[in-house]
Every structure is written in structure tokens, then in C-alpha cells.
Amino acid sequence: MRCVGTKVVVVGGGSTYTPELVDGLCDVEDRMVVDDLVLLDPSDLRREVVGGLSERILRARGWSGTFSATADPHAALEGADFVVVQLRIGGQAARHVDETLPVGYGCLGQETTGAGGLAKALRTVPIVLELAEEMAARSNRGAWLVDFTNPVGIVTQALLDDGHQAVGLCNVAIWAQRRIGHYLGVDPDAVAVEHVGLNHLTWIRSARVGVDGDGDGDGDGDGDGDRGADRLDYLFERFGPELELESGIPVDLLRLQHALPSYYVHYYYQHDAEVAQQSAPGHRSRADVVAELETKLLQEYRDPALVSKPAALSYRGGAYYSLAAVRLMASLHAGTGDVQVVDMRNEGAIPGLPDDAVVETTAVVDATGAHPLPQRELSLEMLGLVQHAKAYERLAVKAACSGSRDDVVRALLANPLVGQYPLAADLANDLLGANRQHLPRFFPS
């Protein structure tokens, strides 16, 4: 057993995200020294191209650890301390189906919410659970699984329900924190946001500057203080058009709720307008756009003179994911008790949700895990939507594990973006048929 340093495994290491992630690992060496980094990916091409650039970035930054890229999960997971999961089962082709098939039914086409999000969960949850079982057998005692695979809330719920040591991670909160810091003209790390909800269904209900991590300024981490002025009203007044564009929500609603929702909330509040836009002639799915960008990125990654992440990577999506991921791992490793936004069990933090429900909110992160901070009650319109979506998420986990079409129909009936019959039954049939090759539990033959 190694006495110093850590072994980090990136599952889906051939992703074009990976160079940004490995670059970030060099920024936390004061808290976590990585001496063994493994990229696990089934694609020979991506292991060669993405792995090549990743190692060049690390060496250019003076990193002296052991680097490898492999298709063998057994070898990769052996002795791991952290396993970062960023899978995409079916690639951009499956994502294209997620984003287009539901539109024909008058429903939102999106890869993490609505019917498309359920299809992605059905493909993903069984694979991640199998990976977690293999990790439990081969990794070091106390190893952490960090899930960045969408739909993060559903995947993390499945992992924790199955007893695995896992934390879910999304880039939305850290991206919003950085945008708010930009608008206020301050160091983003000085901005404390009150971020609450479920993955891709969250609101920032306050933004304070120069205070402790829970946003109240008293340094005790319990969220009950009142120091540090909330800057949301100022942001709505001064930067209303910008925030409306970034969130997809009219500024009048931002003021009404006194909250800044994540971009994904507009899929609920502006559902019909979004479906109309997706139905318009010439509309391109995000999958098509990303596939085109990835082709260009992989071509750029091949350049042996490239030793840093290219500027074009910023258009890939997932901004600041690497920063959030490395900070999370460093806090878990060093037990520093930082306040971060992650996906974990509620444990009473958000009133109105069960303790075992996976939520996304602020937490103290130490060597024993992520511990959610107590939150104010959600307004009724927020709570109702969150409870509705959480019921769907639990049914989505059940459907992914059972391989039952009836469970898929139940999940779609509970989904706030579907919720009708026989629409749910018809969608279930088409989604299962379109994903047949990726759903062995549903099609065992």
C-alpha cells in the first residue's frame, strides 16, 4: 500500500473534458498529491489523443507521478483512492435521441431532464452501479466515487441507495458563483451563495460577499446569522438583462421569487416556449453541436506541441467542473472542512424532503464526507416542484434497476415535464426501442 500520495482514476477518461480536469489536479498539491493517475476509456483513439495531451499538460507543469490510459477496469481500479465518473453511454448519438425524440410528442428534448433525462438514466445507472461494485472490490479502503455523470442527482441517488461511498458533483453552482463575482467585481471565492434544490433544479436565494461559507457571516457554519448584505436585488436591478439571458427566466420572475435559478429551471417554467423553439425548422440539437466541437477538439489535441488546455475547450460546456472536482477531492482527502455545493443525502437540511433524498446544496466537506448545512424552508412553489421531481427521480432509479417497462411508465407519469397518459406509455415504448442496444435489463435476449 502506498504511504504518500493518492491514486485517481478517471472513468470516461477519453472525454474532451479530461485535459481541464488533470490540469486542475496540479493546483491542489498543497492538500492532495496525486502520484498515480489513470484514464479508463474503451476507445483506443481517445486514450491515445486525450491521454497524450493530458500527460503533456501534467509534465509541462512539473508533475512527476505515474500516468497511464487503459481499457481494463480491473487494473485501473486496483488501489484507487478516488474514482471520478464522467461516462456517456451511447455517446452523442444517444444524446441526440434524448434531445429530439420527445419533441415529436410535444415534450422537452433534453439529456438530463424530462423524458430524455430518463432515457439517459436508464442507460447509465446500471453501468455506474456495476462500476461501483468493482471499485468496492479493488480500490483502497475508504475510496470515494465522485460522480459527474448526468443525470447526477439520479445517479448519486442510486449509488447511495446501494450503499456506496459517493458524492455527486455539478458545475452549475461554481459557474453561478463565478458569474456573480464577475458582476460584482469581486473575487468569486469571496461570494457565498445560498444554493438549494435538486441537481439541475436549484435556486440561489442569496449572494453575499466577504462572509463565511454558509453565507451568514458569523463563522459557525449553521446559517443562522444575518451579517453580510444579500446582493441579489442589486444584481437584478443592475444586470437584469444579462441574468435573464443566462437563466432563461424573465427578470420579473427572478424578482418575484427573489432567487436566481439555474439555467435548467427554465425548462420547467418556460416549457412550451422551449419545445416550440426545438420544433422550429433548422433547430440543431446540442448533441450535434457538441459532436462537431469534439471533432475539432480531438484534432487540436493531436498537436504534440500543445501542452495546455486549448481555448476552444471553454465552449464544450461544464465550465469550472475541473475546479469543483479537484477542490472536492482535496477536501475529502485532507479533511479541511471547506463549504462546497455537492449532491448528497438531505439529512434534514432542506425541510419537506426525506432524509435519504439526494439533494444539491451547500455542505461542509471533510474526510468523512459531505455534510449538508441547514437551509431555510423553500417557498411553496419551489417545494412543490422539488418534491414532484424527487418522486420522479426515485422512480427513475427503480426503473433503471428493475428493467421493467411498467416502472418506466410510472417514472414518466411522475415526471413534471411529462405527467400524462397515454403519453407516458407511448413515450416509454419509443424511448426503450430507440435505446435497445444500451438496455440489456429491458432486452435480455
- Helix, coil or strand: residue 206: strand
Label residue 317 by pLDDT band (50, 70, 90). Answer: low
Cα distance between residue 117 and residue 278, in whole Å: 16
H helix and E strand count, the chain? 16, 12
Q: What length is written for the chain?
A: 445
**Which parts of 33-164 fold into alpha helices (H)?**
44-60, 73-77, 91-100, 114-138, 152-161
Query: How far is Cα 256 from Cα 254, in angstroms, rounded to an integer?
Result: 6
**Cβ neighbours of residue 161 under 8 Å, at least 6 residues apart?**
356, 397
The pLDDT, as a whole number, for residue 256 is 97
Q: What number of CA atoms fall less than 13 Å from residue 174's CA on the CB side?
A: 19
Task: Report pLDDT for 321.
Answer: 82
Quick one: pLDDT at residue 228? 76
Segment among 110-114, 204-208, 221-225, 354-358 with least mean pLDDT? 221-225
pTM of the model: 0.94
The pair phi, psi for residue 187, each rounded to 5°, is -60, 120
Is the predicted pLDDT of residue 171 greater than 50, yes or no? yes
Q: Residue 380 phi/psi, 5° resolution?
A: -60, -40
Structure-block grid coordinates of residue 165:
461511498
- State the pLDDT at residue 2: 38
Best-predicted range by mean pLDDT (25-34, 311-320, 351-360): 351-360
C-alpha cell at 324: 469543483
Cell 468569486 locates to 188
What percent of the chain clears pLDDT 70, i.e. is strictly above it?
94
CA–CA separation, 413 vs 221, rounded Å?
39
Question: If residue 323 lies in a helix (H) or strand (E), which one and from where to where?
Answer: helix 321-334
- Contacts (Cβ under 8 Å, ≥6 apart) of 240: 251, 254
8-state DSSP, 335: T
* Banded pLDDT at 219 (limits 50, 70, 90): very low
**CB distance 144 to 166 below 8 Å:** yes
33-64 residue pLDDT tens: 999 999 999 999 999 999 999 999 999 999 99
What pLDDT shows up at residue 226? 39
Strands of the sheet with 338-345, listed across from one edge: 66-70, 34-40, 6-11, 82-85, 144-147, 166-168, 338-345, 358-366, 369-372
Assigned C-alpha cell, 160: 447511495
- Closest C-alpha among 113, 166, 88, 86 to residue 342: 166
102, 116 contact by CB (below 8 A) = yes
- Those residues with Cβ within 8 angstroms of residue 4's Cβ, 6 or more apart along the chain or in another chain: 33, 35
Question: Is 269 tagged catalytic?
Answer: no
Confidence of residue 313 (pLDDT cuts 50, 70, 90): confident
Query: Roughly what angle, to the nearest 10 degrees, separates helices 405-414 and 423-434?
Result: 130
What distances in angstroms separate CA 333 from CA 82, 262, 338, one per listed residue? Answer: 9, 29, 12
**Triad 319, 324, 327: Cα angle to 5°:** 150
The mean per-residue pLDDT over the stretch 95-101 comes to: 97
Is the separation of the CB atoms in 18 and 50 below 8 Å?
A: yes
pLDDT band at 249 (very low <50, low <70, confident <90, very high): very high
Residue 95's closest CA among 150, 154, 141? Answer: 150
DSSP code, position 150: S
Per-residue pLDDT of 377-410, as tens digits, reads 999 999 999 999 999 999 999 999 999 999 999 9
Taking only Cα atoms into account, the Rg of the chain, rounded to an integer number of angstroms, comes to: 21
Res. 131: pLDDT tops 90: yes
| pLDDT at position 28 over 70 | yes
Catalytic residue from among 17, 264, 321, 392 = 264
* pLDDT score, position 211: 59
Mean pLDDT, range 175-189, rounded to an integer: 96
Question: What is the arithmetic mean of pLDDT over 416-430?
Answer: 98
Phi, psi at 80, each rounded to 5°:
-75, 150
Each residue of 265-288: pLDDT tens digit?
A: 999 999 999 999 999 999 999 999
> What nine digits make up the cell of 374?
441547514
Nearest of 276, 278, 271, 194 to residue 228 by alpha carbon: 194
